Structure 1
Amino acid sequence: MLGGVETRSSSPVFVGRADELAVLTGALARAAGGEPQALLIGGEAGVGKTRLTEEFLDEAARRGAVVAVGGCVEIGAEGLPFAPFSTALRSLHRALPGELAAAAAGQEGELARILPELGETPRGPHDEESTARLFELTARMLERLAGERTLVLVLEDLHWADTSTRHLLAYLFRTLAGGRLVLVATYRADDVHRRHPLRPLLAELDRMRTVQRIELPRFNRAEVRRQLAGILAAQPDEAFVDSVFDRSDGNAFFVEELVASRANGCRTGLTESLRDLLLVRVEVLPEAAQRVLRIVAEGGSTVEYPLLRAVAGLTEDELIEALRAAVGANILAATPDGDGYRFRHSLVREAISDDLLPGERARVNRRYAEAMEADDTLARADERVIRLASHWYYANDPAKALPAVLAASVAARRRHAYSEQLRLLERAVDLWDAAPPEVRESLRPADYTDIYPPCGCDPASAPLQRLDLLAEATVAARYGGDRERGLKISKTALRLLEEDEDPLRAAWFWTERSRLVAGVGRSDGWDEIAKARKLVQGLPPSQVHAEVLVRAAGWGMLHDPGPGNITAAERAVEYARMVGAEDIELSARITVGCLLTDSGDPERGLAEMHAVRERATELGLVPIAGRAHINLTSQLESLGRSREAVELAERGVELVQAARMMDTEAWVRGNMAESLYSLGRWEEAAEAAHRALLIGQSAAPRGSAAARLAHLALARGELAEAAARLADAHAQFGTHDNQPQHRIPLSRLAVGVAAGEGRLADVRTEAAAAITRGFPLGQHRYAWPLLLAAASAEADARGLPAADAGRADALALLRGAARNLIAPVPVWAAYAAFFRAEAARAEARDTAADWTEVESALRPLDRPYLLARARHRLAEALLSAGADREAAALLLRQAHATAERLGSRRLREDLALLAQRARLSTAPPPAPAAPPAADTDPADAFGLTSRERDVLRLVAAGNTNRRIAEELFISPKTASVHVSNILAKLGVSGRGEAAALAHRLRLLPGLTPPGEPAPRGV
C-alpha cells in the first residue's frame, strides 16, 4: 500500500565491495557444480552487509538460483527458536512446494519443529540426541532440495540468533557434503563482545577450512563521494564530502542518515552521538508517526499490520497517514510479503526502543499482549506463544507472565530448542515468588513439564512446584549441552530439599547430577549414584527407585564389572515391572544381558539382549533398541563371532540412522569397525570408523572411533598416524572416567606405538601400569591383546643389550597377569597360545611346535592378520630348526599375500626380510603351464573331498557358515570345520582368498568368475 512513497536516501549505484561480491559469486559458481559453499559476512552496524547480500541475491536470481532469506529476531532477551531457518524455509515452501514436500517426505513431523507448515510435531522423544536428529534431518532435506537446482540461503543478523539457531548453523557448516547450496550468514561484528554467545561459534568456524569469512571495512573517501553522488543524483560539493566523510567515518548507513538529515533541514546542531544521529529524523515527524514508530520498535523485527492496528489505538485513516510519513521518511518499509512493517535499519529501531521511558515500554508491551490474547489470529501461530511470553514479561505483570513463560517453554521443548527452553524456565523460576499464590496453585505439572513429580502424586491434580521447574530445567540443560548450568540448577534444588525433605526427589536430582558430572569431566559419577541409592534404600518400589538401581548397575557394568552387579540389575528389572515402567525395565534387562555374558553365560545373556532389541523395536523405543544393538555387537565380538556382529551392526545402523540418532549410530559403527578389523576387512573398518568420528556428537563415541583408527594405523605400520589417533582418543575420553573398556585398549595402543618406536622401557611401564590397575571381569577381550603386544615387544627386542636387563621381571609380570585371565572361547584361547609362544620367543625358547599350536588355533577363526603373524613366526621357527623349507616357503607366501591384501607395511617388510635371509620368495608360485585334461578335475590336485567341493562352491558364492549349513543340511559347526579344512588344503588365509583361487583356477566346473554372466539356472 505504501511501497511507493519512500524518498531516496540510499544510493542506486552499488558502491565498492567488488572484491567481496566476487567472492560470493565465485562461491555461487562452485555450488552450481555440486560443491556446497558456506560463507560468513561480518562488519559493524551500518557498514553495508545487507546491501551486499541484496546485490548478491539479485545476481543469484539472474543466474537461475532459488533464493531464500531469514533474519534473526530480537525479542526481549531471547530470540525465537530457529527463527531465521523457519523464515527461509517458509519462503522455499512457497516457491517450491512440491520439491520441499518430497525432500521432507517421511520426516514431516520432525521437520515441522522448524517449519510448522509441514504438519503437527510429535510429542517426543526427548533425549540428548533429539537436537542432533533434527539437525541431521534438516541438513539432508537441504541437500535433497539442492540436488537439482542451485539454492542460496541467507541468514541475517546472526548476532541476535538464539542458541539453537547457532548450533544448527554450525552443524550445517560442518556436515553439508553435497548439493548445489550456498549458505550465507551475516552478523554485526561490533556487537560481538568478548562474552557474546556468538563468539565461540565464530572461533569454531574460523578453524573450518570450508567456511569463507568476509569482513566489510568502512568506505574510504572516494567511495563516500560515489555514494553521495548516487544518493543526490549529482556530483557533491567537496566540502560536503569532507564533512560527511569526517562525521560518518565511512559508515555507509551514517552517510545516508546525514544526507537525510540535511534534506530535512537539520543542517546544524547535529551531535556526534549515534543515538541522536539516528533519532533526529524521527523527531521531525508528526506525533502520530512517532507514536507508531515507538510501538513498532517494541514489537520485534517485524510487526503485522492487523496487530499494529490493534495496538496503536488509532483509526485506520490515522494509522495509514502515520505509516505513510514513516515510510516516506525512509524509516519503515513494508515486509516482502506485504503483511506488515519493519524498520529499514535495525539501528534506528534500537535507538527508538532505548529512548522509551520504563513505564512507556511496559504499557506498549501490555497492549501487544492484550491484543494477541484477544485475537489469536494477529500473530503467526508458531510465534505467538513466545511473543506473548516476552510481552507479558516486559509488561511487568508476573500473574500473566508466569503461565505465558511456561507455555513458551513447552513450545521451545516441542521444537527441541532446549537452550531456549532452559532460559524460559529460569525466567519462570525468577517470576515464581512474584506471581500471586492463586496463579501458582492453578498451574499443573502435566501442562508444563515432562519430568513429573517422582513422589507418586497425580501430575494432573497436584499443583506445580518450584522443584518441578528446576527438574525440567536440569534436564533441558543436559539435553541442550549446558551441563554446567544443569549442575548449578540441581544444586539449588538439592539445597531446597534440605529444608523440605523428599528422598525420592532428592534421589532423582542426585541421579541427574551423576550424568552431568560425568558429562563435564568432573568425575565418573559414582559418588552421586551412591547418595541416590542411600536415599531410596528401604522405600517402596517406585520409578525413581528403579532408575537409581539401573544407573547403579550400569555404572558397575562399565567401571567395576563383577557378579554383584547382576543382582542390582535384576532388582531394577523387578522394580520397573512393579511400577509399570517398561522402558526402564528394558534398559535394565540390557545391563543384565551384558553382565550374564561377561560372567560366563553368553547364550542366556545374548538371548536376553535380543529379546529386548525386538521388544523395543516393536514399541518404537528406538533409543533402547539402539543401545541393545551397541551392546549386542560388542558382546558378539567379545565371543569371537565377528561376522554376526557386523551383520547385526548393519541392521542397527539402518534402524538408528532412520531415527537420526547420531551418537548411537557412531557407537554402532565403531563396534562394526572393530569387528571388520578382526575379519581383515580393513578398508571397510576405516570407513566405518571415519563415519563414526564424523557423526559422533559426544566425546566417548568419537574417542572410541579414534581408537579404532589408531589400531588400524598401528597394524599397517603407520606409527605417526597411530600416535596421533591415540592422542585424539585420550583427549576425547579425558582422565575423569577410567572405564576399563576404554582404558585397557588405549594402554594396548600405547604399548604398540612405544614398541614400534623402539621404546621398550615405555612398553614395560605402560604394561605394568595396566596390570596394576587390573583387568576386571569381562575385560579379557582387551587384556589378551595388551599382554600379547607387550610380549611381542620383549621378543622383538631380544638380543639388544639394553633390553636384557629387566626382561625376566617384565615377563614374570606378564605371565602372572595371563594366569589370572580367562580364555572362554576359541579366539581368546588362540590369543593365550600366541602370548605363550611370544613369551617363549623373548627367552629364545620358542619351538616350531609352539607356533604350530598357534597357527592351528587361529586358522579356523577368521582372523587373517593374526594368522599371518603366526605363520610368519612358524616359518621362522621351521627355518631356524632347519626343517621343512618347503612348508616355510608356503607359510611365507600365504602370510605375505595377506599382508599385501591388508596393506600392512610392517608385516610385509618383516616377511620380506625373513625370506631374504632364508633365500626364499614370497611371490606366489607360477600358474600351471597348461590347464588340466578335460577329464581331470582340477580340485583333485588339492585333495578336496566331494563334500568340501560343495562347501567351497557355497563359500565362493559368498555364503556364511549358517547359510552353508542350511543349504547342505548340516550343523553350522560342521560347516565351519569344512571351511577350515578347505582353507588349509588350498593354502589360503581367508574365505575371500579361497573364492578368488577357486575362480582363478576354475576348481569347480560351472562356477562363474566375477564379472561374467551366470549360466541360465545358476
Structure 2
Amino acid sequence: MLGGVETRSVSPVFVGRAEELDTLNDALARADAGEPQALLVGGEAGVGKTRLVEEFATAAARKGAVVALGGCVEIGADGLPFAPFSTALRALRRELPDELAAAAAGQEEELARLLPELGDTGTGRPDEEGMARLFELTARLLERIAADRTVVVALEDLHWADASTRHLLAYLFRTLRTGRLVVLATYRSDDIHRRHPLRPLLAELDRLRTVRRIELARFNRAEVACQIAGIHAAEPDPAQVDEIFQRSDGNAFFVEELAVAAHEGSRTGLTDSLRDLLLVRVEALPESAQRVVRIVAEGGSTVEYRLLAAVAGLAEDDLIEALRAAVNANILLAAPTGDGYRFRHSLVREAVGDDLLPGERSRLNRRYAEALEADPSLVPADQRVTRLASYWYHAHDAAKALPAVLDASVAARRRHAYSEQLRLLERAMELWDPAPEDVRAALRPAGYTDVYRAADGGDQTDTALRYLDLMAAAAVASRFCGERERALKITKRALRLLEDEDDPLLAAWFWVQRSRLVQAKGRDDGWKELATAQELVRGLPPSEVHAEVLTNVASWSMLHQPGAEALAAAERAVEYARMVGAREVELNARVTRGVLLVDAGDIEAGLAEMYEIKEQALAGSFTHVAGRTYVNLPSELEAVGRSGEAAGILEEGIGFAQKYGLLDTAAWIWGNLSDSLFSLGRWDESAEAASNALRRGHSAKPQGTAALCLANVALARGDTAEAGRQLAAAHGHFGTHDPMPQQWLPLGFIAIGVAASEGRILDARGELDRALDAGIPPGTQRYGWKLLLAAATAEADSRNLPAARQGREEALERIFSTVKRLATGAPIWVAHEKWVRAELQRAEGIAGPDTWSEVVTAFERLERPYDLARVRHRLAEALLTAGGEDDRDRATELLRLAHAVADHLGARPLADAVGLLAQRARLSLRQVPQQSPAADPVQALGLTSRERDVLRLVSSGRTNRQIAEELFISPKTASVHVSNILGKLGVSGRGEAAALAHRLGLFPSETLSAPTAG
C-alpha cells in the first residue's frame, strides 16, 4: 500500500563490485552452457550483499534467465523450516507454472513439504530416508526446470537459516550435475562466530571444487565518495567524504545512514555511536510510528499488514499514517509480496529489538499469539503453527506454549524438517514442568510420537501424553536428522527413567533405537541392545512394538547369523505382525523370511514370497518395503545364478529409487546391479554401476559393497594395484565394529585374489584362514564358494613354486573339508562345487579332461561367460596334456572361444594365459570357419538372414524384448532365434555370441557392446 514512496538514502548508482559481478556473470554464462553453478556470497552486515544480488538478478533477467529469490525468515529467534526454498519455488511456480507442474508430476505429495500449493503431504509414518528423499526430489525438480532455460535461485540471509535449509542447500551444492542452473546464497560473515551452526557448513562447502565463494570487502574512499554522490545527486564535499569514510569504515549501509544524517543534520544530528545512529531516525518519528516500528521488530522478518493491524490496535487511518512515516523515513519497506512490511535493513530491526525491554518483548509476543490464535488466516497457512509456537514461547506462557510447540513439531515432522522437530520437542520438554497439570493431562501421544505404548494395541488417544513420549519422539527426530549422539543421550536418559516405570514395551522400543544408533555410530553390532529388547517383550501379549522387536531381531540375524534360528525368528515376526494388523511390519518381516528361505535352499518358495511382497508393497504404497525388495530379491536371484532376471529387476528398481529419492536404496541397487552385470559379462557397465553406488550412497556399507565390485572388475582385468586400493577402501567403509559374513567373505575373496596375483601364496593362505575362522554360516554359500574357489585356484597356480610346498597339504585339506559342508542346492552352487574340486585336483596334478568336462557342462547352462571361458581354458589345458589329435581340435576351439570372451571383456590375465597355452601347443587362435574367399562369413556359420539381424542386435546389447520391438516380431520368436544362433555358433550364452561376432568381424561398421540378458 505504501510501496511507491521514494527512498532517498539508497544510491541509484551501483558502486564498485566489478570483480564480484564478473564472477556472478561468469557463473551465469557457464550455467547457460549447461553447467550448474553454486556460489556463496559473504560479507559483514550492511556491506552490500543484497544490492549485489539485486544487480545480478536484474542483469540475469535481462538476458532471459528466470530468477527466483528466497530469504531465510526469522521469527523472534527462530528460523522457519525451508522458508527460502519455499519462497523460491513459489516464485518459480508463478513464472513457470506449467513447467514446474510437469517437473513435479508424480511427486507432488513429497514436494508439497516445500511447496504446499502442490497438494497435501503424505500421512505415512516418517522414515530415516524421508529427509534425503525430499532433498533428492528437490534437486531433480530444479534440474528438470532448468533443462531448457537458465534459472537463478538466490537465497539470502543464510545466517538465519534453520538446520533443514542448511542441509538441503549442502545437498544441492554436492549433487547438482545437470541443468542450466545457478544457486547462490548470501550470509553475514561477521555473525559466523565459532559456534554458529553455519560455520561447519561453510567449511564443508569450501572443500567442494564446484562451489565458488565471494567475500565482499568494505568500500574504499573513492567508492564511498561515489556512493555519497549517488545519494545526494551531487558531488560531495571532500571533508564530508573523509569524515563519513572514517566513521563508516567503508560499510555501505553505514555510509547511507551517515550521508542522510549529514544531509539532515539540523534535524537528526550525528551521534557518537553507529548503533545509536540506527535509532536516530526511529526516535525522530511520531510516537504512533515508533510504536508500529517496535511491533514490526518483534513480529519477524516480515509482518503481514492484517496481523500488524490486529496487534497494533490502531484505527486504520492512524496505522496507515504511522506506516507512511516509517516508510518515508526509510525505516520500513513494503514486503516484496505486497501484503506486509519489513525493515529496510536487518541492522535497524536488530537495534530496535535490542532496545525493547524484556517485559515489552514478551507482551508483544503475547499480542501476536492472541491475534493469530483468534484469526489464523492472518499469516500464510504453511507458517501458522510455527509462528504461533514461537510467539507463545517468547511470551513465556507455558500453558499456551506447550501445546503450540507440540503442534509445530508435528508440522515440522510432516515436512521432514527433523532438526526443527527436535528443537521444538526439546522446547516442549523444557516447558513440561512449568505447564499446569491440567494442560499436560489434556495432551495425547497420537501425532507426536512413533511409540505404540498400549500392550493391547489400544488407541493412543485413550491415554495422556507423558514426558517419556516426548523423549521417544526426540530420539527418532535426532536419528532422522543425523544427530545420533544426541539421540544416544536421550535414549540413555529415557531408559534410566524407565527403571522406575512398569512399561516394558516402551523400554523395548528404546533399546531397539539404541541398537540402531550404536551400529550407525560404529560402536558395536547392536545385538546386546536387541537381545535386551527381545527379553523385555517375551511373554507379553502381541503388540506392534513386539512385532517390530522380532522383525529387527530376524533382520539382524539374517545379516549376522543366518540359518535355521534366523528363519524361525522371521516366522515369529510375521506371525506377530499379522496378529496386531501391522501391515508394513509384516511385509518387512516377510522380506527377511523370503531371503532366508532362498539361502536355506527352498529357492522357489523364497523367491515367490519376495515377488509377491514387491507387488503388494507397490500397491499399498509401502515405499520402504518396496525399496527393500528391489535390493533383496535381485540379490537372491544373483545368488542362485539367475543374473539376467536380477538385472532386469534392478534396472526397474533404479527408476523406483530415483522416483522416490531413496538414496541409500539406490546405492544398494547400483551395487547389486554391478554384481549381476559382472556375471553377465558386461564389465564396463558393471564398473559404471559401482561408481554410481559410490556417488549416490551416503551410508558406509553400500559404499563398501561398491568398492568390492570395482575391486572384482580390476582383479579380473589384471589391475592388481587398483584392486588393492579398492579392497582397502572397502575395509575402511565396513569398519571393524559390525562384522557380517556378507562382508568378510567377499573381502577374503578379493584379498586372496590380490595376494595370488602378486605371487604371495602364504599371504593368500592367511587370508583364507582369517575368513574361515570367522566362518561360513548357513545361507552364505554364494560368498563361500567364491572364497574357496579363489583359494583352490591360488593353490593350483602355485603348485610348482618351492615356497608354496610347505603347508600346502594343510591348506588343501582345509578347503576340501569346507567344501563338504557347503550347500549345493542351486545349479550355480553345484557348478562351483565341481569347479573347486577340479582346482583341488589340479593342485595335486590329477585333474583330467573328464573332470573339467563336467565343470564346463555345468557352466554352459549358466549366465556366466567369464567363468565359462575360464573353465574352458582349463579343459583345453587338460585335453592338450592328454595329447590326442581329436583332443587338439577340441582344445583349439575351446581356446578360441575362451580367448574371444577374454579379449571382449578385457580380462588380460585370462587372455594372456590362453595365448600362452596356445603358443606352447602351437595352436592358432585366429582361424575362422572354412569358406570360399567371396563367401559371407554369416552364411558360412549357417545363419539365415533373419538370424543375422538378430545376431547383430544381440551383439549390440539388445534384450529379447528390444529385438522383438525393432524387428516387429514377438519376444518369444526373438527368443527362439537367439537359441538357434547360440546352437549354430557353438556358444553357451549371449556374451560369447557377441564376442565371437566381434572376433570374426561380422558387423565391422557397428560398435558392439556386451549384451543384456533377456
Whether the TM-score (by the shorter chain) exceeds 0.5 is yes
Residue type of the partner of 2:16? G
Q: Which moved more, 1:344-353 or 1:82-91?
A: 344-353
Deviation (angstroms), 1:859: 2.2
Describe the SS at the equivalent of 2:434: coil
Q: Kindly indicate whether the alpha-carbon contact (under 8 Å) linking 1:577 and 1:585 is maintained by their aligned counterparts in 2.
A: yes
Q: Which residue of 2 aligns with 1:149?
A: 149
In structure 2, C-alpha distance between the alignment counterparts of 1:199 and 1:811, rounded to whole Å: 58
Matches within 5 A, 1:476-491: 476-491=477-492
CA distance in 2, matches of 1:895, 1:514: 50
The residue aligned with 1:1015 is none
* SS of residue in 2 equivalent to 1:314: coil
SS of aligned partner of 1:476? helix
Q: Could you say which residue in structure 2 is the equivalent of 1:211?
A: 211
On the 8 A contact 1:871/1:892 being kept in 2, the answer is: yes
Find the counterpart in structure 1 of residue 569 from structure 2. 568
1:303 Cα deviation after fit: 0.8
* Matched residue, 2:349: 349
- Equivalent residue, structure 1, for 2:317: 317
Contact 2:297 2:353 in 1 (8 A): yes
Partner in structure 2 of residue 172 of structure 1: 172
Please give the residue correspondences for 1:44-123 in structure 2 after superposition, counting only pairs within 5 Å. Answer: 44-123=44-123
Please state if 1:522 is matched with 2:523. Answer: yes
Alignment of 1:589-738 (within 5 A): 589-738=590-739
Structure 2 match to 1:811 = 812
Q: Structure 1 regions of 5+ residues with no counterpart?
A: 1012-1018
Greater CA deviation, 93-102 or 850-859? 850-859
Partner amino acid for 1:893?
Answer: R
Alignment of 1:142-541 (within 5 A): 142-265=142-265, 270-271=271-272, 275-455=275-455, 456-541=457-542
Whichever residue aligns with residue 772 of structure 1, its letter is D
Quick one: distance in 2 between partners of 1:949 and 1:118? 52
Establish whether residue 896 from structure 1 lines up as the match of residue 870 from structure 2: no
What's the CA shift for 1:725? 2.7
Q: Aligned partners of 2:454, 2:704: CA distance in 1, in Å?
A: 35
Letter paired with 1:671? N
Distance in 2 of aligned mates of 1:120 and 1:126: 15
Change (3 A) 1:532 1:938: same
Question: Aligned residue for 1:906?
Answer: 909
- 1:951 offset after TM fit, Å? 12
* SS of 1:445 mapped into structure 2: coil
1:545 maps to 2:538 = no
Aligned counterparts of 2:305 and 2:936: Cα–Cα separation in 1: 94
When structure 1 is superposed on structure 2, of 296-305 and 193-202 the one drifting more is: 193-202
Q: Give 3-state SS (helix, strand or coil) of 1:282's partner.
A: helix
Moved more, 530-539 or 599-608: 599-608
| CA distance, structure 2, for counterparts of residue 847 and residue 666 of structure 1 | 44
Counterparts of 2:394 and 2:954 in 1: how far apart (Å)? 74
Q: Return 5+ residue gaps in structure 2 as ranges.
A: 1008-1014
Question: What is the alpha-carbon distance in structure 2 between the residues aligned to residue 909 and residue 217 of structure 1?
Answer: 63
Task: Provide closer, same or farther for how the CA distance between residues 160 and 222 of structure 1 changes in structure 2, counting only shifts above 3 A.
Answer: same
Does the C-alpha gap of structure 1 residues 891 and 61 become closer, same or farther in structure 2, counting only changes over 3 Å?
A: same
Distance 1:4 1:581, change over 3 A: closer
Could you tell me how far 1:53 is from its partner in structure 2? 0.8
Bigger shift: 159-168 or 786-795?
Answer: 786-795
Aligned partners of 2:764 and 2:221: how far apart in 1? 68
CA distance in 2, matches of 1:209, 1:262: 46
Worse overlay, 278-287 or 184-193 = 278-287
In 2: Cα distance, 1:603 partner to 1:14 partner: 73
Q: Report if the CA contact (8 A) 1:569-1:592 is conserved.
A: yes
Please state if 1:887 is matched with 2:890.
yes
Report what 2:740 is aligned to: 739
Moved more, 178-187 or 757-766: 757-766
The structural deviation recorded for 1:4 is 4.3
**Local SS of the residue matching 1:736:** coil
Q: Is the 8 A contact 2:824 2:833 kept in 1?
A: yes
Deviation per residue, 1:10-52 (Å, 9 max, x gap): 3322222211111111111121222222111122222221111
1:994 equivalenced with 2:997 (yes/no): no
SS at match of 2:190: helix
Instruction: Provide the secondary structure at the position in 1 that maps to 2:122.
Output: coil
Are 1:670 and 1:705, in contact at CA under 8 Å, matched by a contact in 2? yes
Q: Which amino acid is the alignment partner of residue 341 of structure 2?
A: Y
Distance of 1:602 and 1:461 partners within structure 2? 46
The answer on whether the counterparts of 1:13 and 1:227 sit within 8 Å (CA) in structure 2 is yes
Distance 1:933 1:990 in 2: 23
| Structure 1 residues 27 and 758: alpha-carbon distance in aligned structure 2, compared to 1, 3 A threshold | farther
Which deviates further from its counterpart, 61-70 or 789-798?
Answer: 789-798
Number of aligned residue pairs: 995
Alignment partners' CA distance in 1, 2:90 and 2:365: 27
Whether the aligned pair in 1 keeps the contact of 2:861 and 2:988 (CA below 8 Å) is no
- Cα distance in 2 for partners of 1:712, 1:279 equals 69
* Change beyond 3 A, Cα 1:968–1:559: closer
What is the aligned-residue RMSD (CA, Å)? 3.4
- Selected match of 2:928 from 925, 929, 933: 925
Matched residues in 2 for 1:155 and 1:950: separation? Answer: 56
Q: Deviations over 1:147-190 (max 9, x none)?
A: 22211110111121112111221222222222221111111222
**Shift of the alpha carbon at 1:995?**
6.5
What SS does the aligned partner of 2:41 have?
strand
Mean CA deviation greater in 824-833 or 771-780: 824-833
Q: Tell me, what secondary structure is at the counterpart of 1:184?
A: strand
Aligned with 1:499: secondary structure?
coil
Q: CA deviation at 1:1010?
A: 8.9
Counterpart-to-counterpart distance in 1, 2:840 and 2:62: 74
Distance in structure 2 (CA, Å) of the matches to 1:678 and 1:874? 21
Give the aligned partner of residue 130 of structure 1: 130
* Shift in alpha-carbon separation, 1:932–1:94, aligned structure 2, 3 A: closer
CA offsets per residue over residues 597-639 of structure 1, 9 Å max, x none?
2222212222222232232233222322222232221111111
CA contact (8 A) 2:451 2:509 kept: no
Deviates more, 1:902-911 or 1:624-633: 902-911
Please identify, of 239-248 and 703-712, the stretch whose mean Cα deviation from structure 2 is larger. Answer: 239-248
The residue number in structure 2 matching 1:1014 is none
Instruction: After superposition, give the CA deviation of every residue in 1:937-956 in whole Å (9 maximum; x if it has no partner).
Output: 8556x9x9xxx999999989
SS at match of 1:42: strand
Identity between Structure 1 and Structure 2 (%): 64
* Matches of 1:811 and 1:348, distance apart in 2: 82
Indicate the residue corresponding to 1:1016 in structure 2: none
**1:894 and 1:989 in contact (8 A); partners too:** no
Alignment partner, residue 774 of structure 1: 775
How far the C-alpha of 1:762 sits from its partner, in A, is 3.1
1:58 positional shift: 0.9
Q: Identify the range of structure 1 (837-846 vs 218-227) with the bigger mean alpha-carbon deviation.
A: 837-846
SS in 2 for 1:610: helix
- SS of 1:717 mapped into structure 2: coil
State whether structure 2 residue 795 is matched by structure 1 residue 794: yes
| Structure 2 counterpart SS, 1:370 | helix
CA distance in 2, matches of 1:223, 1:105: 49
Instruction: State the distance in 2 between where 1:386 and 1:354 align.
Output: 23
Following TM superposition, by how much is the alpha carbon of 1:720 offset from its aligned partner in structure 2, in angstroms? 3.4
Q: What is the alpha-carbon distance in structure 2 between the residues aligned to residue 349 and residue 129 of structure 1?
A: 39
**1:437 Cα deviation after fit:** 0.9
1:579-604: per-residue Cα shift (whole Å, max 9, x none)?
12222222222222222222222122
* 3-state SS in 1 of match to 2:462: coil
Q: 1:801 to 1:255 in 2, by over 3 A?
A: farther
Report if the CA contact (8 A) 2:711-2:726 is conserved: yes
More deviation in 838-847 or 563-572? 838-847
Q: More deviation in 497-506 or 805-814?
A: 805-814
Paired residues of 1:938 and 1:1002 also in contact (CA < 8 A)? no
Please give the alpha-carbon distance, in whole angstroms, between the structure 2 residues aligned to 1:150 and 1:847: 68
Q: Which letter does structure 1 place at the counterpart of 2:892?
A: A
